Amino acid sequence: TNEKGCGQKMEKKLTYREDGFLEIQLDEAMVFDDYLYSLIQEDPHCLTCIRDHRRAHHYYFDLHGLQTLKEYLNCHPMLDLLSFSIRLFTTLWKVGCRKQIMFDCDELYVGNQGFYLYVLCLPVGIPLKDDAYLVFVKQLCDLMIDVKDYETFGLIYASALKNESLKETLDQLLALEKKRYLALPFWKRWKYKQRQEKEEEIMNLKNGFNYGKKVASTGACDLLVLDEIQCGMGRSGYMF
């Protein structure tokens, strides 16, 4: 059992159960929000949230086949830092537009097959501390201290020192990617573009698959139709 605030003005108790679920018990002052709950269930990047109707302030999250972002970074010291950072910050920005994110490397999760980020969001109105995101970025920099891409690392570290927002950091990362892309010779640009399109297609497939899995596991409907699966995944390649 682990108790921590993770930058949020709240009291919560975390229990990692033997059945692969994370149980979170919140303070009784936290009021359940139906709208936030529906947003979490619709977003494939949010961990599946199961509400305990017998105990109003208990929530369960499915962690099967997942590892924390901290564990992922420790196991992949030679990752492409710029590509990884853009995908990480893009996901956090998209998910955080309408939901409250737990900004902590121990509460962000990654799938075992490739980098696909799952975010822990709670269906309650939680007032965030002003420095929650900045604390997370500094924690992230501590985990990336051994990487070789000093330009990307320096950009992220400088953004934390300057107290820049998540969107400002993301914009700088995208500008750096564009600068490196334009510096490539023509044939490398073509290969880079192909790789980007393939990664985007894989991400879209995973989004659709994870959303269908979430609907099925939460019982959100009486009948679930998964149409044209073969056409969507292709008859060969990564998802076949």
Sign of CA dihedral 106, 112, 115, 118: negative
Place of tokens 């010291």: 77
**Residue 156's pLDDT is what?**
92
Helix crossing, 81-96 with 150-161: angle to 10°?
A: 40
Q: Between the CA of residue 100 and those of 35, 123, 153, what are the distances in Å?
A: 12, 8, 26
Output the pTM of the full model.
0.77
pLDDT digits (tens, 9 = 90+) for 169-217: 999 999 999 998 888 888 888 887 887 777 777 777 777 777 777 777 7
- Evaluate if residue 113 carries a pLDDT over 90: no
Q: How far is CA 132 from the centre of its chain?
A: 16
The secondary structure of residue 3, as a DSSP letter, is E
Q: Beta strands of 87-230 (E only): which ranges?
A: 108-111, 117-119
The secondary structure of residue 54, as a DSSP letter, is S
Please choose, from the candidates 104, 121, 103, 101, the residue with its C-alpha nearest in 3D space to the C-alpha of residue 24: 121
pLDDT digits (tens, 9 = 90+) for 46-85: 988 888 778 778 889 988 888 999 988 888 877 888 888 9
